[in-house]
Amino acid sequence: MRKDYIAAAEPADHETEFVEKYWTAVWEQEGGPQGQLDRIPHRDEYRVMAPYMAQLPKGARVMDGGCGLGDWTLYFARQGFSVAGLDLSRQTVEQLQARFPEAEFVDGDIRRTSFPDASFDAYFSWGVFEHFESGLQDCVHEAFRVVKPGGLLFVSVPLDNLRHAVLGSLARPRSAVSNLRFYQWRLTRAELARELEIGGFEVIEVLPINKRQGVLRSLHHEFGLRYEWLLTKGLSVLLAPLIPGSLIAHMVIAVARKPPNKAQHAGPGQ
Ligand SMILES: C[S@@+](CC[C@H](N)C(=O)[O-])C[C@H]1O[C@@H](n2cnc3c(N)ncnc32)[C@H](O)[C@@H]1O
């Protein structure tokens, strides 16, 4: 597992306050929740999870851990699932509750939620489990508690791809750079699988995703191309299919299952 750092104006903030302030500012800059649902079916995360979600009954209870602007919560709520979107950013959750009263948005911390044990048939969380320096286990353990036996977990975190491995070995020591604080963990596929297994889940599949995002970042950081240039966007579309995910993908997604209760699934006479 590899640590990413970020320049912070207030390095003394407690980690949870820092994460809340940081994301509240990001979402404010993006104009707050707007219910942009049309892009969701085109996202890699959706392509991976859709076949599993299709097997759940209508009304199944689903958790969106770290829902951000709430698009995924709204999307699945409109598909007939009973979805709870939970986020640390109180301001964003208040805006979501005001704009979309038909959906369930809760402010809170995915490491210690107020949901009863075994509440959810499925739990998904994109780009959240990696945000705390003590590691992923607090998030994994709480997910294990609130997911029903036999229930599904979908998690994405930043991939520690080969590009990061090479750049990381060339980077200046952190002690030489002031004003930096921990931002997130990056994990390999094997590391993400191990984190979920330590927490009690059975891992079904682990895949690199968001290759185009990874190419865009490389074009920007290594080649100085600006994100908004058409050239950068065009190159990312052309190059992404040609480069292996392990080299360039931005994120890694895991699908896992909480083992079913043996008693629940034992057939007659067993
Ligand atoms: C990278 S964004 C992802 C947002 C959303 N999942 C998406 O894919 O659009 C991370 C989000 O997780 C939230 N977050 C970070 N740590 C959290 C925690 N411990 N509990 C709840 N939310 C958290 C942040 O406030 C932010 O909205």
Instruction: Give yes or no for a contact between 125 and 154, defined as CB atoms under 8 angstroms apart.
Output: yes
Give the HSE-up count for residue 124: Cα atoms under 13 Å, Cβ half-sphere: 23
Which ranges of the chain have pLDDT less than 70?
9-13, 168-178, 262-270
Looking at residue 262, what is its pLDDT?
Answer: 61
φ and ψ of 251, to 5 deg: -130, 165
Predicted pLDDT of residue 15: 84
Strands, E, within 88-190: which ranges?
104-107, 120-126, 147-158, 180-186
Ligand 1 atom with least separation from CA of 127: 1
- On the CB side of 154, CA atoms within 13 Å amount to 22
Residue 38 has a pLDDT of: 95
Domains and CATH numbers, the chain: 2-160+170-210+252-259 (3.40.50.150)
Residue of minimum CA distance from atom 1 in ligand 1: 127
Q: Is 68 in the pocket of ligand 1 (CB under 6 A)?
A: yes
Tell me, in angstroms, the distance from the centre of ligand 1 to residue 183's CA.
Answer: 13
At 29-82, the pLDDT tens digits run: 999 999 999 999 999 999 999 999 999 999 999 999 999 999 999 999 999 999
Q: How far is the CA of 70 from the centre of ligand 1 (A)?
A: 10
Three-state DSSP at 184 gives strand
**Shortest-distance atom of ligand 1 to CA 111:** 19
**Alpha carbon nearest to ligand 1 atom 15, residue:** 128
Q: Is the CB of 158 under 6 A from ligand 1?
A: no
pTM of the model: 0.89
Residue whose CA is at the smallest distance from ligand 1 atom 13: 66
